[in-house]
Structure formats: C-alpha cells, structure tokens
Amino acid sequence: MSEALKNLMNSIDQMSTKEKAIAARCLLSAMDGRPDDCVEQDWLSLAEQRSDELESGKVSPTTWDKIKQKL
C-alpha cells in the first residue's frame, strides 16, 4: 500500500460527509481519464442525495473502522 493511500485512509475520519463524497468522485474520475458530463452529474446528484439522507437521519452511517475490518 502506498504512503498516499495510507494517508488518505488515516484522514477519512476527519472529513465531512461532503468531503468524503468529493474525494470519492475525484478518485473515480482519476481512474476514468476524460470525465463524462452525464456521469459526473449523476455522481454529484447521488452524493448529494446520500449526504442529505445522512444529515436528515433517514439512514445511519457506519464507522470507517467497521469498513476497514471488512477489507
């Protein structure tokens, strides 16, 4: 595992939900090369929807520690 990935994983707990969504979008975009406008908008809409669901209490978050245990 690279130091960059270790740093990112160690920083996730300090990020807000929206920052995590932005980071995820950036990582996915970096894999694709050239962004597709339609996919970009769909991804942003989904990230905002999930953020709103978390903030409203409609869904319950899980901890990063629980996610890391599953990896």
The CB-based long-range contact list for 57-61 (8 Å cut-off, 24+ gap) reads 61/17
| Per-residue confidence (pLDDT) for residue 6, from 0 to 100 | 86
State how far Cα 55 lies from the chain centre. 15
Which of 59, 60, 64 lies closest to 19 in space, CA to CA?
64
Q: Report if pTM > 0.75.
A: no
**What is the enclosing helix (H) or strand (E) of 51?**
helix 37-56
| Per-residue confidence (pLDDT) for residue 9, from 0 to 100 | 87
Q: What is the pLDDT along the chain (71 residues), one digit of tens a residue?
A: 789 888 888 898 899 888 888 888 888 878 766 656 677 788 889 999 998 999 899 998 888 888 888 87
Q: Can you give the residue ranges of every domain in the chain?
A: 3-70
